[in-house]
């Protein structure tokens, strides 16, 4: 009869590499309101080896990233329950223990969550049209579906989403032609046309009835110039 053997001489924690993150503290928060309502977090991460590595949106902090932390949760989305949070990194969403981070400013509670089963966010489908193809994004904001954003807010948000400054914001009319948005009156017209076509398109219940098509500001070849 063989005797039991100890598989490991050390605990699992002691066997972890020194570059593994073991705790994090939200060190800085930037908050913006309105249609471009979002939160940015700068996270102070302690590794098992004792050093500190900062990850976040600021340039000097981003430059200090190391590859081992590229998969770390950097953006808190919501609280799942009393013990777990939901976060997103590299467009992948998952959950992690609340004890992993020290929250110094929690996200606002949503009145639509809970027994009502409502949606916390409204999502906007947007496209970036380039010679190499079309890039599609779904941008979620804490706004009602009937909101009328300003042209300035839409332009700013699209620049932030696609990381391109010299752009034009457009929508498609009922005939499928691109119409460039230049001011708040154009936004109002876009919303009016979208409402008139709302019953003809099957969308998720929390998706805006209008979509944005982003092009390069200098590219006029995307427009139909025929009468």
- Domain stops at, among 102, 132, 157: 102
Using CA atoms, how far apart are residues 27 and 92, in angstroms rounded to an integer?
23
Assess if residue 149 is contained within a domain.
yes
- Domain stops at, among 70, 102, 134: 102
> Which one, of 15, 29, 79, 68, lies nearest residue 45 by Cα?
68
pLDDT value at residue 71? 43
pLDDT value at residue 146? 87
128 with 208, same domain?
yes
Assess if residue 16 is contained within a domain.
no
209 with 135, same domain?
yes
pTM value > 0.75: no
pLDDT value at residue 73? 42
132 with 93, same domain?
no
Assess if residue 10 is contained within a domain.
no
pLDDT digits (tens, 9 = 90+) for 65-122: 434 344 444 444 555 556 666 665 555 555 566 666 555 555 555 443 433 444 457 8
Assess if residue 200 is contained within a domain.
yes
28 with 91, same domain?
yes
**In whole angstroms, how far apart are CA 216 and each of 52, 109, 128, 186, 223?**
41, 38, 9, 18, 12
> For the purposes of burial, counting CB atoms within 10 Å of the CB of 164, is it exposed (0-12), middle (13-18) or buried (19 or more)?
middle
**pLDDT digits (tens), the chain, 227 positions:** 444 443 344 445 565 566 555 565 655 555 555 565 555 555 566 666 665 544 455 445 444 443 434 444 444 455 555 666 666 555 555 556 666 655 555 555 544 343 344 445 788 899 999 988 899 888 877 778 888 999 999 999 999 889 999 999 999 998 999 999 999 999 999 999 999 888 787 888 888 999 999 999 999 999 988 76
Read out DSSP for 5-48?
A: --S-SS-TTTTS-TTSEEEEEEEEEEEE-GGG-EEEEEEEEEET
Tokens of 9: 């001489």
98 with 127, same domain?
no
pLDDT value at residue 207? 87
pLDDT value at residue 128? 94
Q: Cα torsion for 41, 44, 46, 51, to the nearest 10°?
A: 140
pLDDT value at residue 179? 96
Q: How many domains does the chain have?
A: 2
91 with 143, same domain?
no
- Give the 3-state secondary structure of residue 69: helix
36 with 72, same domain?
yes
44 with 90, same domain?
yes
30 with 85, same domain?
yes
145 with 97, same domain?
no
CATH number of the domain bearing residue 195: 3.10.20.90
Using CA atoms, how far apart are residues 76 and 88, in angstroms rounded to an integer?
7
pLDDT value at residue 199? 77
Expressed as residue numbers, the domain containing 138 is 122-216
Assess if residue 76 is contained within a domain.
yes
Assess if residue 126 is contained within a domain.
yes
Assess if residue 53 is contained within a domain.
yes
- Domain stops at, among 71, 102, 133: 102
Assess if residue 196 is contained within a domain.
yes
């Amino acid at each position: 009869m063989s005797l039991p053997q100890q598989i490991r001489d050390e605990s699992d924690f002691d066997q972890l590499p020194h570059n593994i993150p073991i705790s994090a503290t939200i060190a800085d928060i930037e908050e913006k309101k309105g249609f471009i309502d979002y939160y940015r977090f700068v996270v102070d991460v302690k590794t098992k080896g004792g050093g500190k590595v900062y990850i976040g949106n600021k340039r000097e902090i981003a430059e200090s990233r190391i590859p081992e932390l590229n998969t770390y949760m950097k953006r808190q989305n919501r609280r799942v329950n009393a013990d777990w949070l939901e976060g997103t990194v590299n467009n992948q969403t998952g959950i992690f223990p609340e004890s992993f981070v020290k929250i110094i400013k929690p996200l606002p509670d949503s009145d639509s969550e809970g027994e009502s089963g409502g949606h916390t966010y409204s999502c906007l489908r947007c496209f970036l049209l380039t010679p190499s193809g079309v890039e599609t994004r779904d941008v979620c904001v804490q706004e009602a579906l009937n909101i009328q954003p300003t042209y300035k807010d839409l332009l700013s948000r699209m620049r932030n989403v696609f990381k391109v400054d010299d752009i034009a914001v457009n929508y498609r009319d009922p005939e499928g032609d691109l119409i460039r948005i230049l001011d708040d009156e154009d936004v109002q017209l876009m919303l009016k046309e979208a409402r008139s076509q709302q019953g003809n398109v099957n969308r998720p219940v929390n998706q805006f009835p209008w979509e944005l098509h982003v092009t390069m500001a200098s590219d006029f070849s995307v427009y139909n110039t025929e009468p």
